[in-house]
Amino acid sequence: MRPVRHGLCQVADKKGSGEVRVALVGCPNVGKTSLFNALTGSKQYVANWPGVTVEKKEGVFLHKGFRISVIDLPGTYALDYNSLDEKITRDYILSGEPDLIVLVGDSVNPEQSLYLLLEIVEMEKKVILALTAYDEAKKMGIKIDKYELQKHLGVPVVLVSSITGEGLEELKDLIVDYSARKGVLHKVHLDYGEAMEKRIREVLNNLTDLPIGAPPRYFAMKYLSGDTQFYQEALKSGLPELSEEERIAFKISLSKKKRELIENVIKEAYQSSEEKVLSLSEAIDHVLTHKFLSFPLFFAFMYLVFKFTFETAQVFSDLLDLAFTNLGNLLVERLGENAISSFMADGLISGVGSVLTFVPNIFFLFLAMGFLEESGYLPRAAFVMDRIMEKFKLSGRSFMSLLLGFGCNVSSVMSTRVIDDPKERLVTILISPFMSCSARLPVYLLILRIFFPHASAALLFSLYTLSILITLLSSSFINWLFYRGRSSPLIIELPRYRFPTFRNLYLYTWNRGKHFLKKAGTIILLASIAIWFLTYFPGNGNVEESFSASIGKALTWIFKPFDYSWKITLSLFYGAVAKEVIVSSITMLYNFDEVELETARSVLGLEMDPVKAFTFLVFVMAYIPCIATVATIYSETNSLKWTLFSVLYSFGIAYSLSLLVYKIGGLVVRS
């Protein structure tokens, strides 16, 4: 097959309106968002696994007097109409909204990217090919002749790297110049050979009126290959039905011809050092997915992450703690004991400060998660774990989403969008709040340090293990309740390993950590102020006579079997807003500074023994998702029923599980 050119289009001398809309389209994980960030200076979420971006994102940059809006789209391998991503992307391209499309392709393995490019060329859209990760191609000794690519594909080509910045200026220039041109560089018309061309011509001749929203030739080909969208439209407009075999055969022939062309183009334009040595990526892979090593390594990594956030970060946490305590004491000293000093010291500093002390732990956790996501290990872990997940009616893909939940449940719920199977997706959404997120960490650390100063690491680990178990068993249970179906297939492209750059890690950690800081400055601050008022009035500082006391005492019946005091009950109630608020509530209600573990131990110790304290943590681990997660579950499932289910189910599980722990713990300790 050879491309036939339809002549060069004239260059328009007309000045652009000054506004250009550019859509970034490409396969999953090629580096669209990285390019988006590099062009617009944004700090969107980038990671080394397919399916990171799940929403359209828009950013702007100025170049040569033009205002260029860039739209980052979710990645797709093809532009059929099968998955949600494909639908979103294709609709957007065909809508005519973008003036120009930048096809972001992989420099190292361009085949699939070029396939996508040809699809867009057939949609007769103006498109630039930006082959990204050029730095990696160079490192591997791959030589790319961009003029050769340009010649065969009929579109402008740039080689770029979002990491080194190479080619970015060229791309910007090209975007401005090319969008100001009328028409495309040259219209490439792929010739599919006489038999297929004849079929296409027949269809075109039978088209009574021109299809809306798609070029006729493209429409005809999509009709012949039984495209979900256009086949139906074609039938409506009077074209005859085709047998399924014919449609599939046509579709596969189209794909085959394109791939043949691409193979030839790559042969012409690519040169690589031939000898195939065991690459570093393969060597690492060999060890990480090894028959006997993979599981021990996975757990070792998890343990390291855990140790890192728990021990290494603790040094910094202790320093912050000291600072906040001293600040509080200083204020009281200066202002004397009154409502204002109490508001500042007990309300603001104790409430928000107690949560802020955990910033180092949380940042360290995100740093470790960033490493996990950026290195490319995450999808490998999914591959290794798939068999186990299958036992719980899940797949390695949902494993990836769930693992993200250790950071934040909201992001794990969001990331389920790429799960193709709707049932598996729903189940993953419903179980993901059980994964113990970073917001629960402060509560664990506070209580464990008070009650189990010598065994806190082991108990923390057991809490996390428990959270994973509950998550998995819940999947079996929910599946048993509602579906009893099969689990969906696992088709994931494994990315190249990448050593995370300092900048990427910093961006990742800061983006995630910033969210936590924001929360401390908004929800937790407001909650602390509210709690302070409720706790200070009307007793003027006497906690036992406060509004809080009335609310708390009215709620204690809920935890009758556990014998929780009203303060503990109330902290759980307030904690429904965000789990960190539990920490604020406890420090305020009991009025202690964290640094004084001894005082804390003596006040809390009056009401709780170690068994009760651990039961409390089990409850905190499992009980209702925070408000942000509930809202996300609602917006992602679009169903009040499932949202309610999630809340009630988790409460039920938390209650029965902690009751079990309480009873067993009681037996063990008493005997």
Partner 1 sequence: MKLFQVTPGVRVKVLRMDLPGDVQNKLVGMGLIPGAIVEVVKIAPLGDPIVFSLNGRNITLRKKEAEGIEVEPVDEVMPLYLAMFEDGEYEVVEMFEGKRFLEKVKKLGIFSGERLTVKNGTLYLKGRPILLGKGEALKILVRGVKG
Where does this chain touch partner 1 (CB under 8 A) — which range of 248-256, 409-417, 604-612, 655-663? 248-256
Write out the residues near ligand GTP by the rule CB under 6 A: 26, 28-34, 46-48, 50-53, 74-75, 132-133, 135-136, 161-163, 374, 498, 504
Q: Which is nearer to partner 1, 59 or 105 (CB)?
A: 105
Query: Which tokens is 289 given?
Result: 């997915």
Instruction: Give the DSSP H/E element, type plus range, for residue 178.
Output: helix 168-180
CB of 382 to partner 1, least distance (A): 8
Q: Using CB under 8 A, pick the residue from 196, 490, 523, 595 that binds partner 1.
A: 490
Which of 374, 369, 379, 288 has its CA nearest to residue 48? Answer: 374
Which partner in Mg ion, ligand GTP, partner 1, none is near 28 (CB below 5 to 8 A by kind)?
Answer: ligand GTP
Which of 632, 616, 656 has its CA nearest to residue 477? Answer: 656
Rounded to 5 degrees, φ, ψ at 191 are -100, 120
Contact status: 53 vs Mg ion (CB under 5 A)? yes
Which partner in Mg ion, ligand GTP, partner 1, none is near 112 (CB below 5 to 8 A by kind)?
Answer: partner 1
What is the per-residue binding string for partner 1 in 387-426, x denoting contact by CB under 8 A?
A: xx-x-----x-----------------------x------
What is the per-residue binding string for Mg ion in 10-49, x denoting contact by CB under 5 A?
A: ----------------------xx----------------
What is the per-residue binding string for partner 1 in 282-311, x denoting contact by CB under 8 A?
A: ---x---xxxx-xx----------------
Contact status: 557 vs partner 1 (CB under 8 A)? no
Q: Is 106 helix (H, G, I), strand (E, B) or coil?
A: strand
Q: Which is nearer to partner 1, 83 or 312 (CB)?
A: 83
* Dist CA 337 CA 317 (whole Å): 28
Which of 380, 358, 360 has its CA nearest to residue 301? Answer: 380
Q: Which is nearer to ligand GTP, 30 or 174 (CB)?
A: 30
Residue 49 DSSP class:
S
CB of 163 to ligand GTP, least distance (A): 4
Q: Which is nearer to partner 1, 86 or 318 (CB)?
A: 86
Which of 268, 266, 219, 259 has its CA nearest to residue 1? Answer: 259
Burial class (CB in 10 A: 0-12, 13-18, 19+), 338: exposed
Contact status: 83 vs partner 1 (CB under 8 A)? yes
Instruction: Say how many residues touch partner 1, by CB under 8 A.
Output: 39
Query: Looking at this protein, which amino acid is placed at residue 575?
Result: G
Q: Using CB under 8 A, pick the residue from 42, 82, 237, 462 that binds partner 1.
A: 82
Where does this chain touch Mg ion (CB under 5 A) — which range of 53-61, 256-264, 318-326, 539-547? 53-61
Q: Residue 597, Cα to own-chain centre: how many angstroms?
A: 37
Contact status: 108 vs partner 1 (CB under 8 A)? yes
Residue 271 DSSP class:
E
Q: Which is nearer to ligand GTP, 132 or 317 (CB)?
A: 132
- Give the footprint of partner 1 on residues 257-276 (CB under 8 A): 259
Where does this chain touch partner 1 (CB under 8 A) — which range of 73-81, 97-105, 177-185, 521-529? 73-81
Query: Which tokens is 636 given?
Result: 């992602």
Q: Is 19 helix (H, G, I), strand (E, B) or coil?
A: strand
Q: Is 445 helix (H, G, I), strand (E, B) or coil?
A: helix
Residue 419 DSSP class:
-
524: number of Cβ within 10 Å:
24
Q: Which is nearer to Mg ion, 446 or 507 (CB)?
A: 507
* Dist CA 438 CA 433 (whole Å): 12
Q: Residue 176, Cα to own-chain centre: how many angstroms?
A: 32
Contact status: 52 vs Mg ion (CB under 5 A)? yes
Q: Residue 549, Cα to own-chain centre: how many angstroms?
A: 40
* Dist CA 396 CA 29 (whole Å): 17
Where does this chain touch partner 1 (CB under 8 A) — which range of 56-64, 379-387, 429-437, 599-607? 379-387
Q: Which is nearer to partner 1, 398 or 632 (CB)?
A: 398
Which partner in ligand GTP, Mg ion, partner 1, none is near 255 (CB below 5 to 8 A by kind)?
Answer: partner 1
Q: Using CB under 8 A, pick the residue from 1, 9, 78, 332 that binds partner 1.
A: 78
Contact status: 494 vs partner 1 (CB under 8 A)? yes
Cβ contact 53:72 at 8 Å: yes
Angstrom distances, CA of residue 541 to CA of 282, 532, 533, 535, 605: 65, 9, 10, 7, 22
CB of 146 to ligand GTP, least distance (A): 16
* Dist CA 563 CA 606 (whole Å): 13
Contact status: 80 vs partner 1 (CB under 8 A)? yes
**CA within 13 Å, CB half, 546:** 22
Residues making up the chain, counted from first to last: 671
Instruction: Say how many residues touch Mg ion, by CB under 5 A.
Output: 4
Where does this chain touch partner 1 (CB under 8 A) — which range of 126-134, 307-315, 327-335, 386-394? 386-394
* Dist CA 523 CA 433 (whole Å): 19
Cβ contact 219:211 at 8 Å: yes
Task: Give the residues lining the site for partner 1 (CB under 8 A).
Answer: 77-78, 80, 82-83, 86, 108-109, 111-112, 115, 251-252, 255-256, 259, 285, 289-292, 294-295, 379, 382-384, 386-388, 390, 396, 420, 489-494
